[in-house]
Amino acid sequence: MIKNSPDWLKKAVFYQIYPQSFYDSNADGIGDIPGIIAKLDYIASLGVNAVWINPCFVSPFADAGYDVADYYQVAPRYGTNADLERLFSEAGRRGIRILLDLVPGHTSIEHPWFKQSQQAVPNPYTDYYVWNNSVWETPQSDLPIIRGLSQRDAAFVANFFAIQPALNYGFAQPDPQHPWMQPVDAPGPQQVRQEIKNIIAFWLERGASGFRVDMAASLVKRDPEKRETARFWRSIRDWMDETNPEAVLVAEWGNPAQAVEAGFHADFMLGFNNPGWVSLFRKRGEGRWRDPYAWSFFDASGHGDIRQFLDEYLYHYEATQPEGFIALITGNHDETPRLADGRDTAQLKLVYLFLLTMPGTPFIYYGDEIGMRYQRLPSKEGGYGRTGARTPMQWGDGANAGFSAGPEESLYLPIDPAPDRPTVAAQDANPDSLLNRVRSLIRIRHALPALDADADFNVVYAESGKLPFIYSRSKGGQRLLVAVNPAGRPARAVLPGEMIAAQPITIDAPDSAILVRSDEGWVLDLPPVSGAIYEISG
C-alpha cells in the first residue's frame, strides 16, 4: 500500500546525537539535553534539518539507555522533560526536527512493569512479558530465556542482553503444546501494544517529530516472515497518518524492503544485516568485518566492488518505491570502527559526495563530520566493542576538547588522546576542511530538486571490479550526473550514447574531474580519489 511521506522528509538530512557524548552543560562529565540545546547553532550550521537522539530516558544504563525503566521521564543525567520540550521548540525555531529513540521490544528489568510481572502473585502485569511455565521447563532453542531473576517460578524471554526482557506482543505461530506462547490477540499482547501507542502519543504531543525504532523487527515471536510484526506497525502508521501526518518512523530493521512494507517511512542499511552497506565503508579487516581479503569500495586501493553494494541496494530501492526511503549512514553507535579510520580527508570528502547525492534519507553520526576516530577502550554501559565509537565530541582545543568543564576523570568516556585529533574549531577555520565540505554538500543537496530523497535514481556505470561509479538523479526536469572514483589512480569513463547530445554543466568538481567531448562521446576523466556532479541539460 502506498502511503504519503511528509514533504520535509524528502529534504531531510539527519544528524545522530549520542546524548551522553555530545556536550556537557553542567560539568558532571556527561553530555546532556541542555548541552544539545547549547549546540543547536552548530547543528544548524551543518545544514541538517533533523536529528535523532539515542534513548534519553530513565534507565539503569546496562545497555547505555536501551534498557528503559520509564518511557515518560528523561533520565536525570540528561536533564528534565522540560529540557527536552525546550529542545523540541528551540530546534523547531531553527527548522530542525527531533526524533526520539523508541525501544518497543524490551524494557529494563528495573521497569515497574517488569517488577510487577516477575511477582509470583498474578497481577495486571503478569502477561506484559513472555514467560514460560516454570524455571525447570526445557528451553526452546529459538527463544533465549533467563531463569533465576524472578520471584515467579518461570523463565522470561530476553530480547538482547539478559537485562532486557522481551515485552509480550504474542506469537505469530503459538505452539499449542505450550499455552504460555500467547496468540497476538491475547489480552497481554494487546495491552502492551496500547502502552507503546500511549508512549508515542505522549512524545508527539510534546513536540517530537517521530522516532527511530529500536529492533523494530523483534516484536512478535515465532514470526518468520514478520507478518504479525508488520501488521502491528502498519496499524501504528495508519493511526499516525491520521493523527500526526508530519511525524515519521525510521526503523532499525536492516531490511528496507520489509520495513517500508510494514509501514515505516524509512529503514537503515546496517552492518548486522546488510553486507552491501558493509562493503562501502567497513571492510578491510576492520571492526567486526575481519576478512583481510575483503575491500571497501571507498578505499584508495581501488580493490572494492561497487556491485556488492549496488545489487543489494537496488533490490531494496525498487521494493521501497515510491514512498519509502533507505537511510544510508556514515556510522552509528553500534557500528565499528568509525568512517574516518583508515581514510584521509580526501577520501572522506568523496564518501560524503556519494552519501549526500544518493536517494533516501542520509544520516550523519555525530563526529563523523569532522572525521573523529574509533578508540580502543574497555566496555562502558554494555558497549563492548562499540564503546570506542561513542567517545565525546571534539569541539576545540580547550580542556577535554571543549566537551566538558568537569574533571577529566569524570568524563563519560575518555577523549581521543591523539595530538592531531580533529576538532570543530580547527575545521571551522579551514575552508578546505572536511567539516566545511560536508556543509557545502548539504547545501548543494538542499538546493537541487534532483537530490531530493524521492528524486529518480539510475545507474549509469557500475561494473564489477571497475571504476568509476556513475549514476544519475532527476526530478522536475532537472537531471544530474554523479561520478565517484575512490581509487588512488585515475579512472576514465565514456558516457552512454543517450547522454552524448547533452550539455553537462559542472556543479561540483572540487577535485578537477574533466569532462570532454571526443569522437567516442562525452569522456569523463577522474583524477585519483575524486568525484563530480554535473547537470545535464538539453
Could you list the residues that contact ligand GLC (CB under 6 A)?
63, 66, 103, 160, 214-215, 252, 333-334
Residue 299 binding Ca ion, by CB under 5 A: no
Q: From residue 252, how far is each of 228, 249, 359, 426, 438 by CA, in Å? A: 17, 10, 18, 34, 25
Q: DSSP of 501-526, one letter per residue? A: T-EEEEEE-TT--EEEEETTEEEEEE
- 432 C-beta neighbours (distance < 10 Å), count: 10
**Closest distance of CB 64 from ligand GLC, Å:** 7
**Binding segment toward Ca ion, per CB under 5 A, in 19-27, 221-229, 256-264, 426-434:** 19-27
Q: 160 is in the binding site of which of Ca ion, ligand GLC, none (Cβ under 5 to 8 A by kind)?
A: ligand GLC
Q: 30 is in the binding site of which of Ca ion, ligand GLC, none (Cβ under 5 to 8 A by kind)?
A: Ca ion
Evaluate whether 344 touches 281 at the Cβ level (below 8 Å). no
Q: 333 is in the binding site of which of Ca ion, ligand GLC, none (Cβ under 5 to 8 A by kind)?
A: ligand GLC
**Closest distance of CB 357 from ligand GLC, Å:** 27
Residue closer to Ca ion (CB basis): 32 or 368? 32
Q: From residue 378, how far is each of 30, 287, 339 by CA, in Å? A: 17, 15, 20
Cα–Cα distance between 169 and 468 in angstroms, integer?
Answer: 47
Residue closer to ligand GLC (CB basis): 69 or 509? 69
**In angstroms, how far is CA 428 from the centroid of its own chain?**
25
Residues numbered 29-58 forming contacts with Ca ion, rule: CB under 5 A: 30, 32
Evaluate whether 304 touches 342 at the Cβ level (below 8 Å). no
**Binding segment toward Ca ion, per CB under 5 A, in 22-30, 109-117, 194-202, 504-512:** 22-30
**Closest distance of CB 346 from ligand GLC, Å:** 31
Cα–Cα distance between 143 and 22 in angstroms, integer?
Answer: 36
Q: 63 is in the binding site of which of Ca ion, ligand GLC, none (Cβ under 5 to 8 A by kind)?
A: ligand GLC
Packed helices 434-447 and 345-355: angle between N→C axes, nearest 10 degrees: 20
Residue nearest to ligand GLC (CB): 66
Query: How far from each other are the two terminal CA atoms of the chain, in whole angstroms?
Result: 36
**Closest distance of CB 65 from ligand GLC, Å:** 9
Opening angle at CA 16, ends 75 and 326, nearest 5: 130
**Closest distance of CB 397 from ligand GLC, Å:** 31
Residue closer to ligand GLC (CB basis): 287 or 504? 287
Residues numbered 133-162 forming contacts with Ca ion, rule: CB under 5 A: none
Residue 28 binding Ca ion, by CB under 5 A: yes
Cα–Cα distance between 241 and 9 in angstroms, integer?
Answer: 14
**Size of site (CB under 5 A) for Ca ion:** 5
Residue closer to Ca ion (CB basis): 25 or 209? 25
Q: 268 is in the binding site of which of Ca ion, ligand GLC, none (Cβ under 5 to 8 A by kind)?
A: none
Evaluate whether 529 touches 511 at the Cβ level (below 8 Å). yes
Cα–Cα distance between 235 and 185 in angstroms, integer?
Answer: 14
Q: 335 is in the binding site of which of ligand GLC, Ca ion, none (Cβ under 5 to 8 A by kind)?
A: none
**Closest distance of CB 62 from ligand GLC, Å:** 10
Among left, alpha and beta (phi > 0; psi -120 to 50; other), residue 287 is left
Could you say which of 14, 18, 24, 274 contacts Ca ion (CB under 5 A)? 24
List residues binding Ca ion (CB under 5 A): 24, 26, 28, 30, 32
